[in-house]
Chains A and B, each alone.
Chain A
Amino acid sequence: MTNKIIYKNPDKKGRYGNYGGRFVPETLISPLQELEEVYLKLRQDKNFQKELNSLHSSFTGRPTPLTFAENLTKFFNRAKIYLKREDLCHTGAHKINNTLGQILLAKKLGKTRIIAETGAGQHGVATATVCAKFGLQCSVYMGEIDMERQSLNVFRMNLLGAKVIPVTTGSKTLKDATSEAIRDWVTNIKNTHYIIGSVVGPHPYPMIVRDFQSIIGIETKSQIISIENKLPDYIVACVGGGSNAIGIFYPFIRTATRLIGIEAAGLGLHTNQHSATLSLGKQGIFHGMKTYLLQDDDGQISPVHSISAGLDYPGVGPEHSYLKDTMDVEYKSVTDEEALQAAKQLSSLEGIIPALETSHAVAYLEHLMPNTQKDEIVIVNISGRGDKDLISIQQNLNTKM
């Protein structure tokens, strides 16, 4: 805490060091400028903050608890483990922190139609939910493969009145759903707001989504101080695009707390079947941002894999790329198998069934805990609950038995 350097990103051009920016077709420039302008005004607007906070307490269920994981702590017999319970948010994951903020923004912009992309379906559900509440039309792009592995979430979106549009191009997963959403936006720019689901895309999206998600970190900070009267030594969160991670990390960047982001190693980093962008990617330009990317020698985007549809993305938020280079955050990865075992472990020890995305963060405890001390504190961001993954977990655990 003593040598805290003030952390302030992005700059005026939407850059996080060398990353970020606005690499989009010209048609999108003016809507992005308008979005930035309106957002920066709203950010200062006390009434807007009041409205959002009141919705968070009455609709989202915030603040979410910080739960002491007594059994997990005993199991490792090292540092104390706390869980930030974003799984208890309405709709079952942290995604609603962003969609609620952005739907208010869309209303200020006078838009009548909302589009979104979704991987695991959590962001799609969170978007469909706020659209239902605020009476806006909603279309969600989702890869065909993801629609299969997250069929329950497709049904939830339909029930909420949203139209789910299957994406059949490319790898038929999150990256293709994102591309299709951008194509829709470029076409229907007049009446449509694009609620992007993570800290990715062209400026100002990574900043807006981070700001809306940083409520996770702000709450965590005051909760841990009131319980333990000190800051945590470690915070662990999973990273796909990276919104839950940046959300909990943000107020802790350049403090004494060590921040660890966990990517999906899929079948292993030595295979081509992973989504470990920050571990193995190279700098590139994709979906409107400069960031680390999994790509081949010709700069074509590589197919990626993860057991969790929400981490199955070849890019990552530009701020994470920056924080990797500055070493303010460490990025590690765990495999599908480790994530599955962690899902089982957290369920049986703590009575909390985590999403497969979240399970990646939990799984890293196996690596981290032996190096911690008893007087230290570890916080894991439980970004979402596992209800949506039950079939997938069941199938994978059965084949192992």
Chain B
Amino acid sequence: MSFISDYIIRKNSYGEKVLSVFLTSGFPNKNNFTQLALQILDAGADMIEIGFPFSDPLADGPTIQYSSFRALQNGVNIKLTLSYAEQIRKKSDKPIILMGYANPLLKYGVKNFAADAVNCGVNGIIVPDVPLDEYDDFYTNAFSELDVILLAAPTTSDKRIKKIDELSKGFLYLVSTTGTTGRQIQDMEESKSLVIKVSHLVTKNPLLVGFGIKSTQDAALFAPYCNGVIVGSAIVKSLMMDNEDFRNTLTFVKEFKTSINTK
């Protein structure tokens, strides 16, 4: 079926919620990125999402806009991102997911991308600007071995959430709040109710919640009602301010993992 969803369900069966960490490809350093990703996985991340950069990241807030901009300046692209995945795969058997906007993918060739990603050990892809409605035209049957993970948002109707659940593979990515990545969640209670509501609607896929999870408290609030959480901007921001050995960020990852598993 799906390596990613099997993995999440297995983790859950051990009583663990899943922590997925987003990193911008090649950020902060192009040269030791593979090592950083492996350290993050060792520190407690169950999965890794690697974002290949785009010049105009519409769904992202200032932190990931900045990291994407720096990555682009350093010459990071899809090809290099795939080679990172290939290196990480050699040393880790945890799910690797790539994330990025439609245009770089389209330019690379959607079909070629699927084949190359599978060869490099990538398990899934998230493209935030290709919603359900564009799915059939964008993804080809080359994606049978690569999970296409779809997003649902606070504005998505119940009926549509069910359709998204039908089509999504790996997991369903629930956006916790309206807005761009890294933004403060507008209303915590509202987001919590959203997660609870969606958890009842989603039957086929594991449910992971992301966007705006800044602290271990945020993560702990959602964790009981879903299969896991996704942390992106908070980690990228931490990397921006960290020492060369990323000590604080690795501790942060460890704390996140602990926070979602208490209770």
Co-assembled chains A and B = yes
* Chain A contacts to B: CB under 8 angstroms: 13, 21-31, 169-170, 175-176, 179, 182-183, 186-190, 282-288, 293, 295, 297-301
Q: Which of chain A's residues have a CB closer than 8 A to the CB of B153?
A: 25-27, 29-30
A188 to B58, CA, bound (A): 15
Out of B107, B137, B156, B164, name the residue touching A295 (CB < 8 Å). Answer: B107
Q: Which of chain B's residues have a CB closer than 8 A to the CB of A179?
A: 56, 58
Q: Which of chain A's residues have a CB closer than 8 A to the CB of B106?
A: 283-285, 299
Question: With A186-B180, A286-B56, A301-B56 in contact, is A25–B103 under 8 Å at CB?
Answer: no
- Does B39 belong to the interface (CB within 8 Å)? no
What is the minimal beta-carbon distance from B191 to any residue of chain A, in angstroms?
13
Question: With A22-B134, A31-B155 in contact, is A284–B107 under 8 Å at CB?
Answer: yes
Instruction: Please report the number of residue pairs spanning A and B whose Cβ atoms sit closer than 8 angstroms.
Output: 120
- Does B120 belong to the interface (CB within 8 Å)? no
Q: Find out whether the CB atom of A170 lies under 8 angstroms from the CB atom of B59.
A: no
Q: Find out whether the CB atom of A284 lies under 8 angstroms from the CB atom of B103.
A: yes
Interface string of B24-46 (1 = CB under 8 A from A): 00000000000000000000000
What is the minimal beta-carbon distance from A390 to any residue of chain B, in angstroms?
32
Q: Which of chain A's residues have a CB closer than 8 A to the CB of B180?
A: 183, 186-187
- Does B152 belong to the interface (CB within 8 Å)? yes
Max count, chain B CB within 10 A of own CB: residue among A24, A170, A285, A295: A285
CB closest residue in chain A, given B102: A285
Out of A25, A190, A295, A297, name the residue touching B128 (CB < 8 Å). Answer: A25
List 6 extra interface pairs beyond A25-B131, A285-B106, CB under 8 A.
A25-B58, A27-B175, A29-B155, A282-B107, A284-B103, A288-B129
Question: With A25-B151, A27-B175, A27-B178 in contact, is A300–B72 under 8 Å at CB?
Answer: yes
Q: Which of chain A's residues have a CB closer than 8 A to the CB of B132?
A: 26, 29
Q: Which of chain A's residues have a CB closer than 8 A to the CB of B59?
A: 25, 186
Out of B72, B130, B179, name the residue touching A186 (CB < 8 Å). Answer: B179
Q: Which of chain B's residues have a CB closer than 8 A to the CB of A286?
A: 56, 103
CB closest residue in chain A, given B173: A26
A/B interface sample: 28 pairs, CB < 8 A: A23-B131, A24-B129, A25-B128, A25-B153, A26-B151, A26-B153, A26-B164, A27-B178, A27-B179, A29-B131, A29-B132, A29-B160, A30-B160, A170-B56, A175-B56, A179-B56, A179-B58, A186-B59, A284-B106, A284-B107, A285-B101, A285-B106, A295-B103, A299-B106, A300-B54, A300-B72, A300-B103, A301-B56
- Does B55 belong to the interface (CB within 8 Å)? yes
Q: Find out whether the CB atom of A299 lies under 8 angstroms from the CB atom of B108.
A: yes
Q: Find out whether the CB atom of A22 lies under 8 angstroms from the CB atom of B131.
A: yes
Q: Give the 8 A-B residue pairs with the shortest CB-CB distance, closest first.
A: A299-B107, A299-B104, A187-B179, A27-B153, A285-B102, A300-B55, A26-B153, A30-B155
A300 to B179, CA, bound (A): 23
A25 to B179, CA, bound (A): 10
Q: Which of chain B's residues have a CB closer than 8 A to the CB of A189?
A: 155, 178
Q: Find out whether the CB atom of A297 lies under 8 angstroms from the CB atom of B107.
A: yes
Q: Find out whether the CB atom of A186 lies under 8 angstroms from the CB atom of B157.
A: no
CB closest residue in chain A, given B108: A299
Q: Find out whether the CB atom of A26 lies under 8 angstroms from the CB atom of B156.
A: yes
What is the minimal beta-carbon distance from A288 to any residue of chain B, in angstroms?
7
A24 to B153, CA, bound (A): 12
Out of A21, A30, A31, A300, name the residue touching B134 (CB < 8 Å). Answer: A21
Q: Which of chain A's residues have a CB closer than 8 A to the CB of B78?
A: 298
What is the minimal beta-carbon distance from B13 to any residue of chain A, in angstroms?
29
Q: Which of chain A's residues have a CB closer than 8 A to the CB of B134?
A: 21-23
A25 to B173, CA, bound (A): 12
What is the minimal beta-carbon distance from B122 to any residue of chain A, in angstroms?
18
- Does B2 belong to the interface (CB within 8 Å)? no
Question: With A21-B134, A300-B104 in contact, is A30–B58 under 8 Å at CB?
Answer: no
